[in-house]
Amino acid sequence: MVGKMTRAALLTRIGFKRDRFRLLIWVVVLAGLMSAVAVKFVDIYGTPQEINAIVGTLKSPAIVAMFGAFTFTGTVTTAEVFANEMLVFMALMQVIMNLALSVHATRDEEDRGLTELVRAHAVGPLAPLTAAINELTLVNFGLGILYAVGLDLASMPGATVSGNWLIGLGLAATGWLFGMLGLVTSQLADHAASATGMAYALFGLSYLVRMITDVQRPRLTWWSPLGWIEKLTPYQTPNWRPLLLMLLTGLVLAAVALLIAQRRDIGAGAIATRPGRRTASAWLRGPLSLLWRRQRTILLGWLVGVIVLGAAYGTVFNTIGDILKTNPTMQQVFGGAMVHAANHHLLVGFSSLLTVVLAAIAVIPGLQLVLKLYTDETSGWLESLYARPVSRTRLLLTYSGLGLLTSTTLFLGGWAGLVLTGNASLTHAKDGITAFEFWQGFWGQLPVIWLFVALGILLVGWWPRGRVAVWLYLAYGFLSQYMGNLLHLPHWAKQLTPFGWIKSVPEHAVDWPTFTGLLALAAVLALLGWWRYTRRDLQLR
Amino acid sequence: MTQPVLEIHHLQKHFGRFQALKDITFTVNSGEVFGFIGPNGAGKSTTIRTLLGLIRATGGHATIFGQDVWRDNVAIHQRLAYVPGDVYLWPNLTGGETIDLLLKLNGTAHTAHTDELIKRFGLDPTKKARTYSKGNRQKVALIAAFSQDADFYIFDEPTSGLDPLNERLFQEAVLHLKQQGKAVLLSSHILSEVERMCDRIAIIREGTIIETGSLAEMRHLTRTEITVTTEQPLAAADLPGVHSFQPGRHPHEYQFAVEAQQLASVMATLTAHGIVALQSTPPTLEDLFMHYYGAGKE
């Protein structure tokens, strides 16, 4: 007799075997990052002077918007600074890992027909989903333990054992909760891309709610599951209630996923696919319109997401760009003009950091499009195209052209969203970012974006199997800028990626010779990739 | 004599150390259906992908319409139609959209003939490609290929997912192409299909073409199965060209295989013994196939 969950344990083991490399990379990178930062913090925020210097910064709305709001009471310890800077950030990483793993373990397997093959054996109908739940639970729990042990070993001043474990388990529970969310969207959607899109939309919403409430009214942050991690206050008065809330929500989501899985057919989603057009519309006529047709929902989703993110960051302009709020005596001491100049200066500094964030995000879908040229190749989709009079050059231009356009548009959209909302929120419009500074910010980051896309082209030509390298490089480039100052990274470590090769804009003016040089480098990389791509064998199924 | 549509001379392809194609040589002419047979992994698809310019030959030479398959692939594909063995369609396009797009890529359009093919093959063009079965995906590719006005058609195991009715439709459509003077390369391991449709055949084994010719020519190279009943007892086991001689179920009934070259002399011996009944079965393509592969294994 086969029960609903028969052989779930076996499938769990198979799942671990299937994902062993990706799990290994995630676990090593995340646990390593956490422990390394903790050790580093002992070094850079060890003395009260160092701590006092950073606490002021951490209270500024700009940092709150990105790292979360925390309250400090009494003497601030190194551990408390660490919790402030790292919790929200690590939670984001943990969620990204979980969304990728959950969709990969369920909907992706089903798309490829593997679930059907498995279910044809004496395996319970809910066993594959249960196996995914088991895998996510074990991975998160394991990582949580590693976090706690890593923090114990780092032994930061002010750290407590219960605080360390609260952080480890809290991050694990946050990730797990979103993993369960990924399992639910995998049951709702009828293919992997759509499941991922849905999950990320909800994740993005949680992030925005967290950010806006953190800046405006931290009490309301309880409404975002991503905000719960901030409520742990691990090294002050350890609060285990958020952990309970996370586990409860995750359990409810897992139950929902199982319930839907039980009611739907294999291969189908709970949301049914409607029949489509009988013939193609007039504009669907070539590789470019085909690519757009396949990707338009995702790309438009990215555009909306990035504009909303930019606009959301913009809403805090009013708080950041008002120095009088933190220092009311300034007006009397320095006079109005000076205050406006100082406000403007603060906003330009904040915007300069955000151009890096927006540029890094804008690179993602463009780079994905370029690398899709290879994944489409191995998925067999290109065989039908290349059997027609379509040249390699044309297809490479199609994918990389759309990639460049996407990344450029996204950056422009997010940056415009930030500056327009930000300026509109200001009481004194002239404190804001000027049109000149806006375009400086745009042109300044552009070569960085294009360089990453060009690197993708190079990989597609020469080393498509190693494409994960460009993602790691992008992630490192972003982190080295985003956290570089807080971590006191040495100068050379920030110079390893294109993000470090340009002057921060619009804080500084665009350096046109560097601009030209980077574009030329991008062109050379792209040409090298093209040269190889038009000459190599296609790797078909 | 006009120029062959496809000419392959000693084509070779290495993947690292593995030699997928060792020596491929054959030609396909206009108005001819050419069968390309061999077991899985013998190099059929690799040959076809080289012909399409998807992968580059390591040695030898291949031309289609007199043009180099790698260098001039875009020009060649203008006049070529291809149906792959595993059809992968863009999951969020409908079958109808896919057919139209594939036609547009060749500069042609959806015609009344396309509609007729969709109807004949019984395809629902409004469904998203991700919901299609293997057979339906193949239908999409076949409809697009047949509604294209190409000069050379390449089919790589095109009927592996089709039901017998659609298989018949496919065969009719290919014969129609032949009547129009088109060239067709049909890779298959459904031997009855090849036997029925193909004018000439090439057999590939482990990356080498081991036999090319018409079925009739190939039959000469193998044995005919004979079942004979004679008036007088027969002891023919030692005759030249006779193999696996054995008595049948009835008295004076014998079964054996005879090589085509020795058929005349064996027949003379049989006549001398007084033939009562004679049944001769020419080798099927399957026999030929087994003959070549069996020989290779020894």
Q: How do residues A210-258 score in pLDDT, each as one tens digit?
A: 988 888 888 888 999 999 999 998 998 899 999 999 999 999 999 999 9
| Residue B181 shares a structural domain with residue B146 | yes
Give the neighbor-by-neighbor strand order of the sheet with B242-247. B242-247, B253-259, B223-230, B275-281
What is the full DSSP assignment across A85-130? Answer: HHHHHHHHHHHHHHHHHHHIIIIIHHHTTHHHHHHTSS--TTHHHH
| Residue B214 shares a structural domain with residue B278 | no
Does residue B120 lie in a domain region?
yes
User: Alpha-carbon distance A181 to A173, whole Å?
Assistant: 12
Q: Which residues contact B30 (CB under 8 A, 6 or more apart)?
A: B2, B5, B151, B181, B182, B183
Task: Looking at the complex, report in whole angstroms how far the Cα of residue A289 sits from the nearest Cα belonging to chain B.
Answer: 10
Residue range B9-24: average pLDDT?
93
Cβ neighbour number for residue A143 with a 10 Å cutoff: 24
What is the full DSSP assignment across A412-448? Answer: HHHHHHHHHHHHHH-SSGGGS--HHHHHHHHHHHHHH
Does this complex have an ipTM over 0.85? no
| Residue ranges making up the domain that contains B258 | 223-282
Task: Looking at the complex, report in whole angstroms how far the Cα of residue A290 sits from the nearest Cα belonging to chain B.
Answer: 8
Test mutation, B15, B52, B92, chain A, max A CBs within 10 A: B92
Q: Which residues contact B47 (CB under 8 A, 6 or more apart)?
A: B8, B11, B21, B24, B36, B204
Is the model more confident about B238 or about A199? A199
Chain B residues within 8 A of A285 when measuring between CB atoms:
101, 104
Least CA distance to A266: which residue of chain B? B131
| Residue B73 shares a structural domain with residue B186 | yes
Q: How do residues A381-419 score in pLDDT, each as one tens digit?
A: 999 899 999 999 999 999 999 999 999 999 999 999 999
- Residue where one domain finishes, among candidates B162, B197, B218: B218
One-letter amino acid of A342: A
Q: How do residues A101-146 score in pLDDT, each as one tens digit?
A: 999 999 999 888 888 888 888 888 899 999 999 999 999 999 999 9
Q: Check whether A48 has a pLDDT greater than 70.
A: yes
| Residue B47 shares a structural domain with residue B73 | yes
Task: Looking at the complex, report in whole angstroms how far the Cα of residue B189 sits from the nearest Cα belonging to chain A.
Answer: 19
Instruction: Answer whether B102 sits within 8 Å of A388, measured CB to CB.
Output: yes
Q: What percent of chain A clears pLDDT 70, i.e. is strictly above it?
A: 97
Instruction: Give φ, ψ of B223 to 5 degrees.
Output: -105, 150
End-to-end CA distance of chain B: 41
Test mutation, B77, B132, B185, chain A, max A CBs within 10 A: B77
| Residue B154 shares a structural domain with residue B243 | no
Is the model more confident about A60 or about B106? B106
Chain B residues within 8 A of A538 when measuring between CB atoms:
49, 54-55
Least CA distance to B94: which residue of chain A? A276
Residue range A165-170: average pLDDT?
96
Q: Reduced to 3 DSSP states, what percent helix, strand and coil does chain B have, rounded to the nearest 5?
A: 35, 30, 35
Chain A residues within 8 A of B96 when measuring between CB atoms:
276-280
Instruction: Answer whether B125 sits within 8 Å of A391, measured CB to CB.
Output: no
| Residue B162 shares a structural domain with residue B208 | yes
Instruction: Count the domains in chain B.
Output: 2
At residue B7, the pLDDT reads 96
Task: Looking at the complex, report in whole angstroms how far the Cα of residue B81 sits from the nearest Cα belonging to chain A.
Answer: 7
The pairing of beta strand B6-15 with beta strand B253-259: unpaired
Task: Looking at the complex, report in whole angstroms how far the Cα of residue B270 sits from the nearest Cα belonging to chain A.
Answer: 55
Chain B residues within 8 A of A197 when measuring between CB atoms:
none
Residue range B101-115: average pLDDT?
93
Residue range A444-470: average pLDDT?
95
| Residue B236 shares a structural domain with residue B127 | no
Determine the distance from the C-alpha atom of residue B252 to the mean position of all C-alpha atoms in its chain, rounded to a whole number. Answer: 40
Chain B residues within 8 A of A298 when measuring between CB atoms:
none
Token pair listed for A71: 């309250």
- Residue where one domain finishes, among candidates B218, B253, B271: B218
Smallest Cβ distance to B54: which of A286, A294, A386? A386
CB pairs under 8 A between A and B: 114
Q: Check whether A331 has a pLDDT greater than 80.
A: no
Smallest Cβ distance to A387: which of B52, B94, B131? B52
Q: Check whether A320 has a pLDDT greater than 80.
A: no
Q: How do residues A525-534 score in pLDDT, each as one tens digit?
A: 999 999 999 9
| Residue B71 shares a structural domain with residue B207 | yes
Q: Is any Cβ of chain A less than 8 angstroms from the Cβ of B53?
A: yes
Least CA distance to B14: which residue of chain A? A537
Q: Are A250 and A173 in contact (CB under 8 A)?
A: yes
Q: Is any Cβ of chain B less than 8 angstroms from the Cβ of A277?
A: yes
Does residue B292 lie in a domain region?
no
| Residue B169 shares a structural domain with residue B29 | yes
Q: Is any Cβ of chain A less than 8 angstroms from the Cβ of B292?
A: no
Does residue B232 lie in a domain region?
yes
User: Alpha-carbon distance A171 to A87, whole Å?
Assistant: 8
Helix (H, G, I), strand (E, B) or coil at B107: coil
Q: Check whether A276 has a pLDDT greater than 80.
A: yes
Residue range A324-331: average pLDDT?
67
Does residue B195 lie in a domain region?
yes
Domains of chain A by residue range? 1-271, 286-541
Task: Report in angstroms the alpha-carbon separations of B255 from A326, B70, B264.
Answer: 108, 52, 17
